[in-house]
Structures are given as structure tokens and as C-alpha cells.
Structure 1
């Protein structure tokens, strides 16, 4: 995901109050409940964005689940007498990357919040972005 992120605009039909899906694991549901009020206040989350929010929360939940495994078993395991990296280390790293990318897409990182992303339409704004007159 490279390049400039699209400008986030307030959506008059934004999703403002929605609980986590029933099927979502506990750690992921807790993240949903933490970020949903933030996104609702900004009024930028549409129904089309719910998949990204679900995936973000699942990734954060997976990071936390892997951390619990690593806290109990350590980052190194012994297989046939040889020390090896615990598989949870790679799973956690992948989930951290996915969560960071999705957090940026949702405007949940310091950098994404510092951009002039959410703005009210100026008076005289045209609906046609290609009109140069």
C-alpha cells in the first residue's frame, strides 16, 4: 500500500453505533469497542468500510493472542534438540504489519491523523473534481 492515501471526508450516512460481530474473538471485539467510538465521532466510517474495520480488529486480536502464547512458551522452542523460532513470532509479525496498514487506512495512526484528511466542504466547492473553470 504505497502512495498518498485518499482524503477522508465526513459521511452524513456514516456508521456511528455498531457493536462487534458476535463471531469475533474476544481480543478483536475489545479492539472494536475501543476504536468504534473514535471512528463514529469522526463520521468517516461507511458500511463499505466495515470489512476493513473487521480485518483491523482481527489482526490486533491475533497480535494479542500470539503474545499470550509467547509469554507462556517464549520466542524460542527446541525441536529435535535445536533451538528454533516459535511459529507465533512470525504470525504475530504478520498481524502487526496488517494491523498497522489497516490502522492507517482507517485514520487510526498519528501520521494519518496529522494529515489534513477530514475537512468540511468549502463554500463554492464543485461536485466535479475535473472541472478546472
Structure 2
């Protein structure tokens, strides 16, 4: 038997209180990706899951409780969603205007070609 197989535990054999203990241990140590640069991330472990460093833009980080950071990120996601909807609406309007302008140009070209004949 290999060392890895001997270290594995069948979770079906554990009692509920043991499962709760394992769950607490796993939730206390989360594997995350830590940004080194804008495009380079390395794996890391998060020992204290109650507090996080939150990037608020332009290189500024703030230390926040996880619950507060989650609220801030949800607000940011909602704002981005609203902005995306507005942007999509603007794009659709501009596409409609472009189609109308192309139709007008085509009509004018056709009428000038007909008048030249």
C-alpha cells in the first residue's frame, strides 16, 4: 500500500462530530490564487478566513472582514451589471442608426445612378 493510500480516510466511516471537525479544518485553510502582477498568480493558502485583503483599485488594498468584503464585491458586481446593460442598450441603438444610415446611402446612390442614366 502506498503512503498516500494509507493517509486517506473514508468519510463514510467518520462520526458526525468528526466530520464537523474535518469541515472546520478544511474551511480554515483555503487554497487561493495570490496575484503577484496583473497577469501572474501563484497558489497560496489562506489561514484566517475571517479577514481578507480587498483590492479597491489603482493598487490600493484594504483589510476587511470577509462579510464586509463580500457585500462590497456584490455591490460592485451589481454596478457592473447595470453598466453592462446600459452599454448594451447604447450599442443596439448605434447599430440601428448605422443600418438606417447605410440604407439612406444606398437609396441616394441608387437614385443618383438612375438620374445619370
What's the TM-score once normalised by structure 1's chain length?
Answer: 0.26
Q: Work out which of the two has the higher radius of gyration on C-alpha atoms and give 1 or 2.
A: 2
Structure number having the greater strand percentage: 2
What's the TM-score once normalised by structure 2's chain length?
Answer: 0.28
Structure number having the greater helix percentage: 2
